[in-house]
């Protein structure tokens, strides 16, 4: 009889221990879940609140002032870009990239101004970092298809097999866009896609009267990792650098893009 009682008491004790362990496990699981939830919320908040860094801000001002042809104000911004950590090759690439959106004359004048800045800094004993040049392209696929693929990545939209709109009216411009802009230029890895898009929207905002293209490239900015907060900052930088009119136009374009993303 005593043996049976001891077995019974042992079973009760085991059940109590299991219940306590279960309760502890539930508490631990709940705690872990709360921590993970908070981390997830924190991550989303941090992503939404991500700000432009100083290099990105200087890419915007350099691009905007070059597009406007304001070389007097461009010189201190080129100095500031180097001081912020942009390499010589990165700034050269910015000035080369923007010719596709505002023409060779603006691009070449920007490069000439940059040469003056570098000479002055060298004379003052400042040794600026040259930085990496573009990596060789080892892709046997023809440039048109490579450019088409890159455009698809940027827009996150499969590119149509048949032309439409202005591409039908002037097919050669579609060839130039795919082969030169999105293959020759965008394939160069001196700048990231996000940096190239900051150059692009800065130029388009500065030259004005190209809002459909601006909206398209603001959407691409979001696709390549720039946040709405960063793009709002971009508008602020354009407005303070170029003017109220350009800033207001860029702000309206950004609002349209963000509203369309919600739908």
Tokens 């450019």 identify what position?
A: 147
Predicted confidence pLDDT, tens digits, the chain (263 residues)? 454 445 444 554 555 455 554 455 455 444 544 444 444 544 444 555 689 999 999 999 999 999 999 999 999 999 999 999 999 999 999 999 999 999 999 999 999 999 999 999 999 999 999 999 999 998 889 999 999 999 999 999 988 888 889 999 999 999 999 999 999 999 999 999 999 999 999 999 999 999 999 999 999 999 999 999 999 999 999 999 999 999 999 999 999 999 999 87
CA–CA gap between residue 97 and residue 18 (Å, rounded): 68
Structure tokens at 15: 């059940």
Domain borders along the chain are: 1-49, 54-134+188-262
CB 202 within 8 A of CB 191: no
pTM summary value: 0.81
Orientation of helix 54-68 relative to helix 88-97, angle to 10° = 40
The whole-number pLDDT of residue 98 equals 97
CATH number of 54-134+188-262: 1.20.1290.10
Angle at 93 between CA 88 and CA 96, to 5 degrees: 130
Tell me, what's the pLDDT at 236?
98
The token duo for 153 is: 């990545």
Locate all alpha helices (DSSP H) within 69-192, ordered by sequence.
71-83, 88-97, 99-102, 104-123, 143-155, 166-169, 171-176
Rounded-to-integer distance, Cα 108 and Cα 187, Å: 21
Query: How far is the CA of 33 from the CAs of 39, 45, 46, in angstroms?
Result: 10, 18, 20
CB contact at 8 A, 261 and 215: no
- Whole-number pLDDT of residue 139: 85
pLDDT of residue 96: 98
The string of DSSP letters for 11-63 reads HHHHHHHHHHHHHHHHHHHHHHHHHHHHHHHHHHHHHHTPPPPHHHHHHHHHH
> Please, what's the b/e burial string for 122-134 (b: 16 or more CB within 10 A of its CB; e: otherwise)?
eeeeeebeeeeee
What is residue 126's predicted lDDT score, i.e. its pLDDT? Answer: 97
Helix (H) or strand (E) holding 211: helix 211-223
Question: Residue 50: which residues within 8 A CB-CB, separation 6 or more?
Answer: 227, 229, 230
CB 56 within 8 A of CB 226: no
Residue 149: CB atoms within 10 Å: 16
CA distance 231 to 196: 14
Contacts of 89 (CB under 8 A, 6+ apart): 130, 131, 132, 133, 190
């Amino acid at each position: 009889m005593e043996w049976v009682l001891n077995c019974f008491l042992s079973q009760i004790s085991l059940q109590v221990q299991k219940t306590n362990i279960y309760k502890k496990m539930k508490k631990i699981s709940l705690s872990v879940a709360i921590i993970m939830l908070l981390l997830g919320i924190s991550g989303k908040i941090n992503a939404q609140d991500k700000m432009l860094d100083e290099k990105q801000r200087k890419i915007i001002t350099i691009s905007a002032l070059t597009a406007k042809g304001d070389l007097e104000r461009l010189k201190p911004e080129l100095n500031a870009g180097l001081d912020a950590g942009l390499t010589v090759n990165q700034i050269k690439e910015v000035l080369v990239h923007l010719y596709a959106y505002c023409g060779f004359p603006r691009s070449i004048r920007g490069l000439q101004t940059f040469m003056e800045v570098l000479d002055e800094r060298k004379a003052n004993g400042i040794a600026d970092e040259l930085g990496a040049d573009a990596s060789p392209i080892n892709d046997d696929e023809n440039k048109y298809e490579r450019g088409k693929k890159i455009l698809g990545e940027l827009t996150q939209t499969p590119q149509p097999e048949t032309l439409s709109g202005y591409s039908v009216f002037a097919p050669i411009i579609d060839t130039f866009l795919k082969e030169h802009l999105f293959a020759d230029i965008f394939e160069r890895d001196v700048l990231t896609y996000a940096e190239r898009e900051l150059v692009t929207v800065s130029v388009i905002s500065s030259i004005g009267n190209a809002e459909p293209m601006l909206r398209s490239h603001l959407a691409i900015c979001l696709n390549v990792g720039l946040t709405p907060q960063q793009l709002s900052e971009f508008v602020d930088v354009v407005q303070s650098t170029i003017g109220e009119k350009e800033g207001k136009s860029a702000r309206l374009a950004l609002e349209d893009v963000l509203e369309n993303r919600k739908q």
